[in-house]
Amino acid sequence: MSSLFRQKSHSEGFTFVELAIFLLIVGLILGVAVAAWSVLAQGRQIQAAKNTLKTVNNCLTDYTVMAKKISGTEYFSKFCQKNDPWGLELKYLHAHDTNGMNCSSPLSGTLSVKVAPGDTRNSVAWIVISAGPNRHFDYYMSGTLVDFTSGDDVYIMSSDMEIHNEVCP
């Protein structure tokens, strides 16, 4: 009967060390989850920017097909301009004279686009650019060469040949 009245020698609950280990594990799991969610959200914004750029590119192409000339910045600003997912206005670069096109000869684009070291695309009719996740336009332009090799800008471009084939089938 004396065993019924004896106090237990150990206390119930968690020790400080057990609680610290539990909190560390929960913190690590939450940290990984937040990082994964951030990457996923950024990926969705980049895809949204690409979709917006396609829409704007189609607007410019439609104008070019109907008017048989490359759009100037005024038309772009009035009818095609959109904001990217980060709330910034897109930029439009073109190097063509906006006079009418002649289907008997190909366009003579003067923009060249460096997309990676050693990879330059020539004869580009226009480029539409989003600032990307860092919200800063990182491209570098020297004369008619546009360099995208540094930074996170998202862009779409149309070549002279693509435009010529659309306007003059």
**How do residues 106-143 score in pLDDT, each as one tens digit?**
666 679 999 999 999 999 999 999 999 999 999 999 99
pLDDT score for 8: 56
Task: Report d(CA 8, CA 11) in Å as an integer.
Answer: 7
Q: At a CB cut-off of 8 Å and minimum separation 6, what does 4 contact?
A: none
Tell whether the model's pLDDT for residue 99 goes beyond 80.
Answer: no
Tell whether the model's pLDDT for residue 78 goes beyond 80.
Answer: yes
Residues forming a β-bridge with 156? 128
pLDDT score for 111: 92
- Mean pLDDT score, 96-105: 74
pLDDT score for 105: 75
pLDDT score for 149: 95
Q: Which two tokens stand for residue 19?
A: 């609680």
pLDDT in tens, 27-50: 999 999 998 888 898 899 999 999
pLDDT score for 11: 64
Burial of 56 (0-12, 13-18, 19+ CB in 10 A): buried
Phi and psi, residue 56, nearest 5°: -65, -40
pLDDT score for 103: 81
Tell whether the model's pLDDT for residue 20 goes beyond 80.
Answer: yes
* Residue-range domain boundaries for the chain: 16-167
% of the chain exceeding 90 in pLDDT: 67
